[in-house]
């Protein structure tokens, strides 16, 4: 008999009462703040509060007689476990027979009913998609002006607010004035006079500032509105420092109240069109602007400019990644030497690694909470060990560790799956195929104009050849002292209508992380970070390739050369030679000796 989760059921009951009071038949709660951020502060975790599901992506839909959670393949296993007993049904996105939310609501709702959501937490793109679908003959209405979580959430945390920091130009590599000039040129190219900007990492990049309002993401809650002459910046008053006041004056930045954005947009005297990125502006902002001015729908010009790192950023990231790689090498060495000799848990292992990073020069924060997943825990891509749910490591099986740091000069992200003792032959096969795919993508040579859709097969081919897949993308962009997940670049084979497909440009930083995830058994992921570069140009076009930023050994104890081609072995041995060369200066003599053996060539 399934155990009932009465706490979640009671919370959903309070939400349904609030829905009745406000005349809403269905209510939707996404995983988002007012800026469509991937990771959010506790204040915005309403979906988690009303479901118990702790993953970073999911949308809750509640009716009087149903509740459903939509999430993607990274979280199917985790969501199924965390939703048990809540009465919330799991909808596995992109799986056969699973409807998208607009289609589900259209089929479920009756004529004249009302769908409610907080329009500040739903993207313009998703809000307009719902608006269009629900208008098809049923007269269904949308109420986007109510935050029912505020009525039904007892003990809700306060809105976060921390001081902002101004980046010196020797770190940013480019002044805010230069960036503003480039962005204004792009606004003009788009046929607009103004840009509404609410994507937090874009704003931080544009103004050369950083914040601390989201765990592990150095951003500040804020909005921007650019004209030909002015740059309006809306931020909480308590976040502003004397340094920033001087900086804003020098750079002609007009500072306004964070809460005043709607009144400003409502009252502004528009003399032209407003450029709006529908995927990265919230529905409430869009409706306010669309009611007062003409608009142009297009991408934030800041997103692509930010994604192509300048020479200063790339040089500093290269240095940071070498030091960060050395910290992970120290961790693997410690783990291999101590497993079975002292008690180590998933949690204590993560804490040990986190402390090694804190000792690295320039460390600011983690870039995301460290994932330390032993044996079958690793089958959940975003598993989180806690004091109440934490395995003790033993000299058998494997530990998957996905981790990264924020440094003055870069953001890191790296995954290694580490052998602790005996593993099954099937696991070795899976591990070897993952390594072969990762290295095959690393060595890619391709024509300019390719996107991640063209490159994804290189990472998956060894797995697909044996009927194995992983239900996530292969790569995502990496920020510079910003979000660990950044667009528009990515590497994946399947794109939905909401996803962007971007040409790979020189200077883009992107992850390379194929894997295998077998529920109840094991999980494997190997992740390196790459930088796109131009290679030769000839009559056939501009050829491109990748440089590697990550230099951490791949565990040879899980390699079965029977599943490798000669080219795979050559790539692995060549990579390991680079690992030793790039990191030895940061290691002790004992660690160097261990690394020399860990990176020694493998014979076919």
Label residue 382 by pLDDT band (50, 70, 90): confident
Q: What separation in angstroms does the CA of 17 have from each of 23, 58, 61, 516?
A: 10, 23, 15, 43
Query: Is 270 strand, coil or helix?
Result: coil
**Structural domain includes residue 160:** no
Q: Do 169 and 314 reside in the same domain of the chain?
A: no
Query: Omega of the bond prior to 488 within 30 degrees of 0, cis?
Result: yes
Q: Do 225 and 257 reside in the same domain of the chain?
A: yes
How many CB atoms neighbour CB 5 within 10 A? 19
Q: Do 526 and 427 reside in the same domain of the chain?
A: yes
* Final residue belonging to a domain, choices 306, 341, 358: 306
Starting at the earlier edge strand, list the strands of the sheet with 398-403. Answer: 371-374, 398-403, 414-419
Q: Do 226 and 370 reside in the same domain of the chain?
A: no
Q: Do 237 and 334 reside in the same domain of the chain?
A: no
DSSP H helical segments within 52-153, as ranges?
76-82, 101-108, 124-134, 148-152
How many CB atoms neighbour CB 361 within 10 A? 10
Q: Do 245 and 145 reside in the same domain of the chain?
A: no
Residue pLDDT, tens place only, 117-153: 999 999 999 999 999 999 887 889 999 999 999 888 9
**Structural domain includes residue 1:** no
pLDDT of res. 137: 79
Tokens of 516: 């295998």
How far apart CA 92 and CA 136 sit, in angstroms, is 25
**Structural domain includes residue 573:** yes
DSSP one-letter code for 219: -
Q: Do 496 and 536 reside in the same domain of the chain?
A: yes
Tokens of 471: 């239900």
Tokens of 399: 């530990």
Helix-, strand-, coil-residue percentages of the chain, each rounded to 5? 40, 25, 40
Q: What is the mean pLDDT of residues 462-490?
A: 96
Q: Which of 36, 42, 9 is nearest to 152 (CA)?
A: 9
Contact assessment for residue 202 and residue 305, using Cβ atoms and an 8 Å cutoff: no
pLDDT of 436 higher than 70: yes
Q: What is the mean pLDDT of residues 195-201?
A: 97
pLDDT of res. 498: 67
Q: Do 385 and 287 reside in the same domain of the chain?
A: no
Q: Three-state secondary structure along 328-364?
A: HHHHHHHHHHHECCECCEHHHHHHHHHHHHHCCCCEE
Cross-strand bridge partners of residue 115? 26, 142
**Structural domain includes residue 539:** yes
How far apart CA 403 and CA 88 sit, in angstroms, is 31
pLDDT of res. 52: 93
Q: What is the mean pLDDT of residues 468-493?
A: 95
Residue pLDDT, tens place only, 352-369: 999 999 999 999 999 999
Quote the mean pLDDT of the chain.
95
**Structural domain includes residue 46:** yes
pLDDT of res. 1: 47
Q: Which of 52, 54, 86, 94 is nearest to 70 (CA)?
A: 94
CATH assignment of the domain containing 62: 3.40.350.10
**Structural domain includes residue 534:** yes
How far apart CA 106 and CA 104 sit, in angstroms, is 5
Single pTM value for the model: 0.90
Q: Which residue range forms the structural domain that includes residue 294?
A: 165-306
Q: Do 102 and 78 reside in the same domain of the chain?
A: yes
Burial of 542 (0-12, 13-18, 19+ CB in 10 A): middle
pLDDT of 329 higher than 70: yes
* Final residue belonging to a domain, choices 125, 152, 179: 152
Tokens of 77: 């296993």
**Structural domain includes residue 267:** yes
Q: What separation in angstroms does the CA of 18 have from each of 66, 146, 445?
A: 15, 10, 57
Q: Do 120 and 190 reside in the same domain of the chain?
A: no
* Final residue belonging to a domain, choices 245, 271, 306: 306
pLDDT of 264 higher than 80: yes
Residue pLDDT, tens place only, 52-93: 999 888 999 999 999 999 998 888 988 999 999 999 999 999
What percentage of the chain reaches a pLDDT higher than 70? Answer: 99
Label residue 2 by pLDDT band (50, 70, 90): low
Q: Which of 156, 164, 90, 85 is nearest to 118 (CA)?
A: 156
Q: Which of 51, 64, 67 is nearest to 20 (CA)?
A: 64
CATH assignment of the domain containing 511: 3.90.230.10
How far apart CA 578 and CA 551 sit, in angstroms, is 7
Q: Do 299 and 319 reside in the same domain of the chain?
A: no
The total number of structural domains in the chain stands at 3
Q: What is the mean pLDDT of residues 153-168?
A: 95
**Structural domain includes residue 221:** yes
* Phi and psi at residue 585, to the nearest 5°: -65, -20
Q: Do 373 and 505 reside in the same domain of the chain?
A: yes
pLDDT of 594 higher than 50: yes
Q: Three-state secondary structure along 163-184?
A: CCEECCHHHHCCCHHHHHHHHH
Q: What separation in angstroms does the CA of 36 have from each of 40, 204, 550?
A: 9, 15, 29
């Amino acid at each position: 008999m399934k155990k009932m989760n009465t706490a979640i059921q009671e919370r959903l009951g309070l939400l349904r009462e609030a829905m009745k009071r406000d005349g809403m038949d269905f209510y939707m709660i996404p995983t988002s703040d007012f800026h469509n951020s991937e990771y959010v502060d506790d204040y915005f975790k309403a979906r988690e509060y009303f479901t118990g599901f702790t993953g970073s992506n999911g949308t809750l839909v509640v009716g009087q007689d149903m509740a459903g959670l939509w999430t993607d393949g990274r979280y199917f296993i985790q969501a199924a476990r965390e939703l048990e007993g809540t009465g919330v049904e799991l909808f596995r996105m992109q799986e056969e027979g699973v409807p998208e939310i607009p289609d589900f609501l259209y089929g479920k709702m009756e004529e004249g009913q009302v769908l409610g959501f907080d329009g500040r937490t739903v993207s313009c793109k998703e809000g307009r998609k719902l608006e269009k679908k629900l208008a098809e003959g049923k007269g269904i209405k949308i109420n986007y002006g109510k935050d029912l979580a505020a009525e039904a959430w007892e003990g809700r945390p306060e809105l976060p607010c921390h001081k902002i920091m101004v980046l010196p130009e020797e770190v940013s590599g480019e002044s805010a004035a230069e960036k503003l000039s480039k962005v204004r040129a792009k606004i003009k190219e788009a046929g607009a006079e103004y840009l509404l900007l609410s994507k937090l990492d874009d704003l931080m990049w544009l103004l050369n500032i950083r914040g601390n309002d989201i765990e592990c993401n150095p951003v500040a809650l804020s909005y921007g509105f650019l004209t030909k002459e002015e740059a309006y910046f809306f931020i909480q008053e308590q976040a502003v420092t004397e340094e920033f006041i001087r900086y804003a004056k020098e750079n002609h930045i007009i500072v306004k109240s964070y809460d005043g954005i709607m009144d400003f947009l409502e009252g502004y005297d528009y003399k032209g069109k407003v450029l709006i990125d529908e995927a990265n502006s919230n529905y409430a902002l869009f409706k306010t602007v669309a009611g007062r001015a003409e608009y142009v729908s297009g991408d934030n010009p800041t997103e692509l400019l930010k994604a192509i790192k300048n020479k200063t950023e790339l040089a500093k990231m290269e240095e940071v990644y070498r030091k960060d790689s050395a910290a992970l090498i120290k961790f693997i060495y410690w783990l291999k030497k101590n497993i079975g000799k002292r008690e180590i848990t998933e949690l204590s292992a993560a804490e040990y690694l986190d402390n090694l990073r804190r000792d690295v020069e320039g460390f600011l924060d983690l870039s995301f909470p460290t994932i330390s997943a032993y044996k079958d825990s690793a089958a959940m891509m975003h598993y989180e060990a806690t004091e109440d749910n934490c395995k003790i490591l033993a000299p058998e099986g494997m530990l998957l560790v996905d981790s990264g740091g924020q440094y003055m000069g870069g953001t890191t992200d790296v995954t290694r799956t580490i052998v602790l003792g005996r593993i099954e032959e099937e696991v070795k096969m899976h591990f070897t195929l993952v390594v072969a795919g990762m290295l095959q993508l690393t060595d890619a040579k391709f024509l300019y104009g390719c996107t991640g859709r063209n490159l994804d097969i290189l990472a998956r081919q060894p797995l697909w050849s044996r009927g194995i897949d992983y239900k996530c993308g292969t790569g995502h962009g990496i920020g510079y002292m910003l979000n660990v997940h950044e667009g528009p670049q990515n590497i994946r084979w399947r794109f939905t209508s909401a996803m962007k497909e971007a040409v790979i440009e020189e200077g883009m930083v992107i992850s390379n992380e194929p894997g295998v995830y077998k529920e109840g058994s094991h999980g494997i992921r190997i992740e390196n970070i790459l930088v796109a570069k131009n290679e030769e140009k000839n009559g056939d076009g501009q050829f491109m390739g990748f440089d590697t930023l990550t230099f951490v050994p791949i565990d040879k104890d899980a390699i079965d050369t029977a599943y490798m081609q000669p080219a795979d072995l050559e790539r692995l041995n060549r990579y390991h030679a680079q690992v030793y060369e790039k990191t030895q200066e940061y290691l002790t003599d004992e660690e160097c000796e261990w690394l020399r053996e860990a990176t020694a060539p493998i014979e076919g």
